[in-house]
């Protein structure tokens, strides 16, 4: 999974903010630190939609950048954020589970008018992003 290093900071009386040294122009914000991660995931996905993603640098490489060092000296921290691309390339997976739970998954998917696969992908995406409520894909 491709992950980008984000620089997170918070100024007094403002929201939490994040920017990505390897993705110029991609920023996000949230009122709480808990909400920043899912917002940052979505910001990366939307910003890079339809583009070839740049090669992300390691945390060590990013920390050598002058603007990152300056922000960190003022209290910023780094956050790894996965790029959860909405590409249409599908892969087949085989999962095994408790029959009762599979039935519950099928019922929930049917109620939403989607397939078991779509339901599982949405659930996985939500879990990766920390339980955030996401738009349906």
Q: Determine the Cα–Cα distance for residues 63 and 57; give it in Å rounded to an integer.
A: 10
**Does one domain contain both 10 and 67?**
yes
**Does one domain contain both 53 and 100?**
no
Q: What is the pLDDT of residue 88?
A: 60
Q: Determine the Cα–Cα distance for residues 103 and 16; give it in Å rounded to an integer.
A: 41
Q: Answer for the pair 29, 39: CB distance below 8 angstroms, yes or no.
A: yes
Task: Tell me the helix, strand and coil percentages in the chain, rounded to 5.
Answer: 40, 15, 45
How many domains are there within the chain?
A: 2
This model's pTM is above 0.75: no
CATH number, residue 59: 3.30.160.250
**Does one domain contain both 65 and 103?**
no
Residues 6+ apart with CB under 8 A from 13: none
Q: Determine the Cα–Cα distance for residues 84 and 137; give it in Å rounded to an integer.
A: 12
Helices (H) and strands (E) in the chain, counts: 5, 4
**Does one domain contain both 100 and 47?**
no
**Does one domain contain both 18 and 65?**
yes
**Does one domain contain both 100 and 136?**
yes
Q: Answer for the pair 5, 21: CB distance below 8 angstroms, yes or no.
A: yes
Domain span at residue 100? Answer: 90-137
Tens-binned pLDDT, residue by residue, of the chain (137 aa): 789 999 999 988 889 999 999 999 999 999 998 899 999 999 999 999 888 889 999 999 999 999 999 999 999 999 999 998 755 667 788 889 899 999 999 999 999 898 898 899 888 878 877 755 544 43
Q: What is the pLDDT of residue 131?
A: 58
**Does one domain contain both 76 and 98?**
no
**Does one domain contain both 32 and 56?**
yes
Q: What is the pLDDT of residue 86?
A: 58
Residue finishing a domain among 47, 68, 87? 87
Q: What is the pLDDT of residue 134?
A: 44
């Amino acid at each position: 999974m491709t992950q980008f290093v984000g620089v997170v900071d918070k100024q007094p009386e403002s929201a939490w903010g994040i920017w990505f040294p390897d993705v110029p122009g991609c920023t996000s914000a949230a009122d709480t630190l808990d909400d920043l991660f899912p917002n940052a995931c979505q910001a990366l996905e939307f910003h890079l939609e339809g583009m070839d993603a740049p090669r992300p640098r390691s945390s060590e490489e990013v920390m050598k950048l002058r603007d990152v060092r300056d922000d960190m000296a003022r209290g910023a921290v780094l956050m790894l954020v996965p790029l959860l691309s909405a590409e249409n390339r599908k892969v087949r997976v085989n999962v095994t589970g408790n029959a009762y739970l599979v039935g519950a998954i099928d019922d929930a998917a049917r109620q939403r008018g989607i397939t078991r696969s779509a339901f599982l992908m949405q659930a996985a995406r939500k879990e990766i992003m920390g339980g955030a409520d996401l738009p349906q894909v």
